[in-house]
Structure 1
Amino acid sequence: MKYGYIRPFEEDELNSRQLQKLDNIELTHLFIENNSSAKNRVKLDTLLTTVKAGDVIYVYNLYVLADSTRHLLELLQQLTKRKVTVQFLANQINTSESSTYSFLTIIEELAQFQSQSISAKTKIGLLEAQKKGNNAGRPKKSMVSVNEAIEMYHSKKYSLEEIKVKTGISKSTLYRNLEN
């Protein structure tokens, strides 16, 4: 069976470009999303439950099918495992050809690269912020308040709630500092 999948995106909000590409293919069924939302993909879910081994899904481009490299990888792995071919018309990519393995490998590597790249950029940004004096996370509690909370705790005259109200030091912060 031959299935088409269309989802509006910024460059083709009315789906005209996608419909034009799919027009020459005799499709068994055409699944058209009503919105471009990444989270609400009802027609894609229906398509994924419909396809069987040997079926072909025709899609305009990679972005129509998936919103991220990781999502694309997950979908392609799932479909390849089920022996379903995906043909991306604008990209001229066909997952059934002998290059399928290398295409999936490239997508896997891209997903890993993207993840590592984001992680590295985040670490660099955090280090630069630290050098400028901007520390990530919650600001540290003043040692004056912590010491006051510890003294109040040891005096046994105050409840934990009273200590928190007076010093602003939470129970967990107090206990953590008592251990040290």
Structure 2
Amino acid sequence: MIFGYVRPLYNDETCEKQLKAISEKCQTIYREPHASPKKRHQLEEMLMAIQQGDTIIVERMVALADTTRQLQDILNICEKDSVSIQFCNEAISNNQPLTCTLQQMMKHYIQFQTDVAKQSALIGIANAREHGKTIGRPRKPDVNIQKAISMYHSGNFTLHDIKNETGISKSTLYRSLENSDENR
């Protein structure tokens, strides 16, 4: 059997890219309904279904694993069960000798780590938003901005003085000045 595995990723939330890359090659595709690294029931189900000689196809490494440890564990399971894994994007398989340079292999590894970090960050941001937390740098109070604008227009203060007094940076002050000019 040839199995495929997809799950929502930071740049493919609907799995369209992944499905396009693997659907014609697979007999059965396991599709995770969420991006979370926890409770990946479809992955577990697929790993329970594989038998000797089967093949797993994924679009890229990050679709299959969330950490290098998890990737290694899955590779070990597949090696023990004589199952091959093909990573389409990286053009590598666990049952064929690597025909790439160390530089190319490091590029694949770094891309995997980058994808894992992006995936993790976006999941964290989504969870924070679900719990009502605001994302990003907190806004400066309008009182401080108004005071900084007044100090600037008075001509008696340097930008350094304004920053020390109000906590407003030069870029924030200039952006606020532009906005106040547009509103006039």
Report the TM-score range of the alignment, normalised by the length of the smaller protein. Answer: 0.5 to 0.7
Tell me if 1:97 matches 2:96: yes
Task: Work out whether 1:12 is the aligned partner of 2:12.
Answer: yes
Q: Could you tell me how far apart the structure 2 residues matched to 1:35 and 1:61 are?
A: 17
Match in the other structure for 2:43: 44
Q: Give RMSD over aligned pairs.
A: 2.3
How far 1:23 moved relative to its partner?
Answer: 3.0
Q: Tell me, in whole angstroms, the C-alpha distance in 1 between the residues paired with 2:97 and 2:43.
A: 26
Larger of the two Rg values belongs to structure: 1
User: How far apart, CA to CA, are the structure 2 residues paired with 1:23 and 1:73?
Assistant: 25
Residue in structure 1 matched with residue 68 of structure 2 by the alignment: 69
Which ranges of 4 or more aligned residues in structure 1 deviate by more than 3 Å?
Answer: none
How far apart in 1 are the matches of 2:51 and 2:16?
Answer: 28
User: Which ranges in structure 2 are unaligned for 5 or more consecutive residues?
Assistant: 114-184
Per-residue Cα deviation, 1:90-117 (whole angstroms, up to 9, x for no partner): 11111111339xx9xx89xx8xxx9xxx
Q: CA deviation at 1:24?
A: 2.8
Structure 2 CA distance, aligned partners of 1:93 and 1:81?
19
CA distance in 2, matches of 1:75, 1:19: 21
Checking the alignment, whether the CA contact within 8 Å between 2:4 and 2:23 is kept in structure 1 is no
TM-score, normalised via structure 1 length = 0.54
Q: How many angstroms apart in 2 are the aligned matches of 1:47 and 1:8?
A: 17
TM-score (norm 2): 0.53
Query: SS where residue 30 of structure 1 aligns?
Result: strand
- Verify the 8 A CA contact 2:23 2:29 in the aligned structure 1: no
User: Which residue identity is paired with 1:97?
Assistant: Q
